[in-house]
A and B are shown apart, each in its own frame.
Chain A
Amino acid sequence: MTKGGTKGDRIAKWLVSGPPLLFLLVFFVVPSLIMIVTSFRFPGEFGGLAPLVVPAGEVGGEYGLTLEAYQFFLSDSLYAEIFLKSFGVAAATTLICLIMAYPLALLIASSEKRFRNLMVLLVVLPFASNFLIRIYAWMIILGPESVLSHFINTILGVFGIAPITLLFSSFAVLVGMVYVHLPFMVLPLYINLEKHDPALLDAAQDLGASGWQRFWRVTWPLSLPGVFAGSALVFIPALGMFAVPEILGGTGDILIGNLIKDQFLGTRDWPFGSTLSIMLMLAVLSIAGLATWFARQSGGMKYAE
């Protein structure tokens, strides 16, 4: 916007950008680096970390840096399985969110202007309520004594199928995940769809395209940047989620997030916990990179603005 400018401008630049930069360097960059270093250290005897240097007067023991935590990660296929499972759950969450959010976003975008903001607000509002409360709500709905459970089991009983429990299952985890992340999908989709020029659909109709063709050949390709943005916004937090499986899942529904949490607040193996966190970070970075790349590829078709 401005070129270099006067000395006063340069001072102003540092005064404005300096404090947030410093704060985030200390409380975001340094902690991240420490997490990386921690992943290469030995766990302490009673949790935490072993010292980096050999304490005076002591012989043997494990000090310094090591690849042990990474080797441990690779040694047991259990961890790879949990990673894969977390990817699966996050992908399923993203897909269900997309299927639910798309018609809603389309409707909001095609509504009259004066209703749009209210309709968007109605999507965001439940999201503004406490995260735990939203999960807790499903604990009530899916509980064994709930109306829904009774209803489903009565129907199953008619067909002679044994009653099922909804809570503490993979199903409950998926429902909770979708519920918690849905607004993240609606917003970017709506922001994209709102910019579409209705004249394009009219033109397609004039050229004889059916309703389905108009959607599939015009609206959908144009909305791809929104689809990728929304998918990334759902997939990334879903991948690191631990509270939903913790509250709604059974013992077999452990995801990466739960594994990481246990290393820090349960078994206290910090190096292994850091290793898992770094693996998660790498996964997130590649997903984010991929989404940006796809969005750019499909961005060539973007005409809005």
Chain B
Amino acid sequence: MQNRNFRLWFVAALVYAFLYIPLVIVVAYSFNDSRLNTEWVGFTLFWYEALFNNKEMLTAARNSLIIAVSASICATVLGTMAGLAIHRYKLKVLPILVFTPVAMPEILLGVSLLLFFLQVLHLTLGMVSIIIAHTTFCIGFVAIIVRARLQGMDWSVFEAARDLGASPWQSFRLVTLPLIMPAVVAGALMSFTLSIDDFVITFFTKGVGEPILPIQIYTMIKVAVTPEINAISTLLMLLTLVMVIIATKLDSGMLRGEARR
């Protein structure tokens, strides 16, 4: 038994190393005093300075923030409703519509929305189209988190509120919402990170106007690799890390999703 556990630990350590070494390298080279990501020369903050003087990058970051905040607000409201409805009522169509965009390859959502925006809405692609696209796939994630939270709770609490004469709205505002609040906030944070990180769907719905962060990073990777990418990557990782920590503090069941019953 001891022996087996040791072997498991060994393999697991390798997998954890596989997961983390690449990210550590990215972060380390962001402080490296060399244009090339090949060997350690010396410590510098030059790449961060370059980043903060890069007008286009700053605009892109601002745009991405606007998109992420708007999309996560829309997705949180709609996703919470969807999560509640799916848990409370026997619905046939809504669960399919909510969970399919989460499960299918992103490129399909990107392509179909591109065709829709251009052919039907005659919309100039830009911030609005990206916000709509991000909302579409974030709804499912919020709904999953909210529903998992509801599944862990005793439904009689809500019935009791109704029996005591609360209107549906009152019982929602005074009983349901406070109880699911951690899941709602966790869903909002998750939508925010999904939106700010999304590349594929943004790539298809972006248009040619405003610079957007993931697209900017993609162009830099494809055209000219400089450690500026490492610097922006490090900052983004930091941002996501903070978000994830807050989200898990709020709802420890989130990670385990539907396993919670």
A interface with B by C-beta (< 8 Å): 1-2, 8-9, 11-13, 16-17, 19-21, 23-25, 27-32, 34-35, 38, 48-49, 100-101, 103-104, 106-108, 110, 117, 120-126, 128-141, 143, 145-147, 179, 182, 187, 191, 194-195, 211, 236-237, 239-243, 246-247, 257, 260-261, 264-265, 270, 273-274, 277, 280-281, 284, 288, 305
CB–CB B97/A25 < 8 A: yes
In the assembled complex, the Cα of A182 lies from the Cα of B106 at a distance in Å of 17
Q: How far is the CB of B137 from chain A (nearest CB, A)?
A: 9
A124-B244, A130-B199, A265-B203 provided; 17 other pairs, C-beta below 8 A? A16-B85, A20-B78, A20-B82, A24-B97, A24-B136, A27-B132, A34-B119, A35-B108, A107-B5, A120-B255, A125-B241, A130-B217, A132-B199, A133-B233, A140-B37, A264-B204, A274-B111
CB–CB B19/A242 < 8 A: no
Q: How far is the CB of B243 from chain A (nearest CB, A)?
A: 8
B237 within 8 A of A: yes
CB–CB B78/A100 < 8 A: no
Residue picked from A27, A38, A126, most chain B C-beta under 10 Å: A27
Q: How far is the CB of A165 from chain B (nearest CB, A)?
A: 14
CB–CB B222/A247 < 8 A: yes
Closest 5 CB pairs of A and B: A240-B105, A137-B22, A17-B85, A31-B116, A31-B112
B interface with A by C-beta (< 8 Å): 4-5, 7-9, 11-12, 15-16, 18-23, 25-26, 29, 36-39, 77-79, 81-82, 84-85, 88-91, 93-94, 97-98, 100-101, 103-109, 111-116, 118-120, 132-133, 135-136, 139, 143, 155, 167-168, 193, 197-200, 203-204, 214, 217-218, 221-222, 225, 229, 233, 236-237, 240-241, 243-244, 248, 252, 255-259, 261
Q: How far is the CB of A27 from chain B (nearest CB, A)?
A: 5
Q: How far is the CB of A91 from chain B (nearest CB, A)?
A: 15
- A23-B135, A28-B136, A124-B255 are contacts. A240–B26 as well, Cβ < 8 Å? no
CB–CB B97/A29 < 8 A: yes
Interface residue from A13, A140, A182, A211 paired with B19 (Cβ < 8 Å): A182
Q: How far is the CB of B150 from chain A (nearest CB, A)?
A: 11
- Residues from chain B with a CB closer than 8 A to the CB of A264 are 111, 114, 204
In the assembled complex, the Cα of A191 lies from the Cα of B81 at a distance in Å of 26
Please, which residue of chain B has its CB at the minimum distance from the CB of A49? B119
CB–CB A143/B84 < 8 A: no
In the assembled complex, the Cα of A237 lies from the Cα of B200 at a distance in Å of 11
CB–CB A100/B15 < 8 A: yes
Please, which residue of chain A has its CB at the minimum distance from the CB of B221? A136
CB–CB A130/B236 < 8 A: yes
What would 16 A/B residue contacts be, using CB atoms closer than 8 Å? A1-B90, A20-B85, A20-B97, A24-B97, A30-B116, A34-B116, A35-B111, A48-B118, A117-B248, A120-B255, A128-B193, A130-B199, A132-B199, A133-B237, A139-B221, A305-B261
CB–CB A136/B229 < 8 A: yes
Interface residue from B9, B25, B113, B115 paired with A270 (Cβ < 8 Å): B115
CB–CB B25/A121 < 8 A: no
- Residues from chain A with a CB closer than 8 A to the CB of B111 are 35, 260, 264, 273-274, 277
